[in-house]
Amino acid sequence: MATRTDPSPADPVFYTPEAYRPDESAAYLMKRILTLMAAEVDEALEPQGLTHAQWVPLLKLHMGDASTVAELARECQLDAGAMTRTLDRLEAKGLLGRVRSSEDRRVVNLELTDEGREAARHIPKVLCKVQNAFLKGLKVEEWEQLKALLNRILANGTKLQGSREGNE
């Protein structure tokens, strides 16, 4: 019986159990790159007192990707309890505040303070510096191709996840 991860006859098979080497896996390489980048970003943001767990929601708030704990937890792929603890730390640092909605008293909106906005404005500079360092030596065309390939892989994964959720 075929599963949703089985290739169709027209699709090439990139990995086989007999020849599988984890260190040659695309997923392994992507994870290693992400781990190394995250370490570089964390080191660069350490003087501002921001950890990975803190700078990600700070940036998402700054960019308008979320305005409540639930939205931010979803955006950061964390449970609401973990997000609340992170936000407590950011609030204690004076980087954000919680403001009850005037339209719906049950909703608490998150707002960056002036200090939070200043800290968040610094994050993209660090991200650009680190990512450009990792992409050193690539041509613009290669960078565009890399992004296109990664987006195709992401689309495949999203489709697989969607088919699994549709079968539950």
H helix or E strand, kind and range, residue 35? helix 26-45
DSSP annotation of 77: T
Based on the structure, what is the number of domains in the chain?
A: 2
Within this chain, do residues 129 and 47 fall inside the same structural domain, yes or no? yes
Domain of residue 93: give its range: 39-133
pLDDT tens for 102-157 read 888 888 889 999 999 999 999 999 999 999 999 999 999 999 999 999 999 999 99
Within this chain, do residues 106 and 163 fall inside the same structural domain, yes or no? no
Within this chain, do residues 85 and 47 fall inside the same structural domain, yes or no? yes
Distance (Å, whole) CA 138 – CA 140: 7
Single pTM value for the model: 0.80
Within this chain, do residues 123 and 158 fall inside the same structural domain, yes or no? no
Examine residue 160 and state whether it is found in any structural domain, yes or no.
yes
Residue of 147, 109, 126 lying closest to 30 (CA atoms): 147
Examine residue 10 and state whether it is found in any structural domain, yes or no.
no
